């Protein structure tokens, strides 16, 4: 079986396969190796809502007889609203940063690889703390590829379909 990558998240994941977006860049990067993707993006959902159906989205290892090589979890935009509010317009970059720090803390406690995308995105003037531009998508891709490389998932470590032919 070919290795599999699961992409799980909110609208950023749902829309990540538009031209030039993070999922499309990732698929192109691994196009000759990891070619099986399971994309589950839920626009407007927060973490609490999507966890109710989590087991239905991803089969257990016992069912598939294989572990995915990577799973991305990209939630938070809809969780980082101001207390007791839902509307994203009632959300601040500061509340998104606090939420990001809490997520990083939980990931570290669980010894799960994590990237601090919120801090990295602060380097881009005018970023609204939510929407990704082409540069933002490339930044997410670069962070993801580096994190995957750190845990042993790279083009070099994955099986390829056929050798690259350069043509003569």
Residues with active-site annotation:
11, 128, 131
How far is residue 107's CA from residue 116's CA, in Å, rounded to a whole number? Answer: 11
* Token couple for 20: 């030039």
Distance of CA 28 to the CA centre of its chain: 15
Give the DSSP per-residue string, 61-87. HHHHSS--SEEEEE--TTT-BPTT---
Residue closest to 48 by CA, chosen among 4, 14, 99: 99
- b/e code 30-45 from CB counts within 10 Å (16+ = b): beebbeeeebbbbeeb
How far is residue 93's CA from residue 85's CA, in Å, rounded to a whole number? Answer: 15
């Amino acid at each position: 079986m070919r290795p599999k990558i699961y992409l799980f998240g909110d609208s950023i994941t749902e829309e990540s396969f538009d031209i030039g977006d993070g999922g499309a860049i990732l698929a192109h990067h691994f196009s000759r190796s990891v070619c099986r993707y399971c994309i589950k993006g839920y626009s407007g959902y927060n973490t609490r809502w999507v966890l109710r159906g989590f087991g239905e989205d991803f089969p257990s290892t016992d069912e598939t007889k294989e572990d995915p090589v990577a799973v991305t979890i990209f939630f938070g935009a809809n969780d980082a609203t101001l207390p007791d509010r839902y509307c994203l317009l009632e959300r601040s970059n500061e509340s998104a940063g606090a939420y990001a720090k809490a997520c990083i803390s939980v990931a570290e406690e669980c010894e799960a690889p994590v990237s601090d995308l919120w801090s990295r995105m602060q380097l881009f003037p005018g970023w609204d703390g939510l929407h990704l531009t082409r540069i933002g998508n490339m930044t997410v891709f670069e962070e993801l590829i580096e994190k995957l490389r750190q845990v042993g998932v790279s083009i070099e470590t994955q099986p390829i379909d056929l050798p690259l032919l350069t043509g003569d």
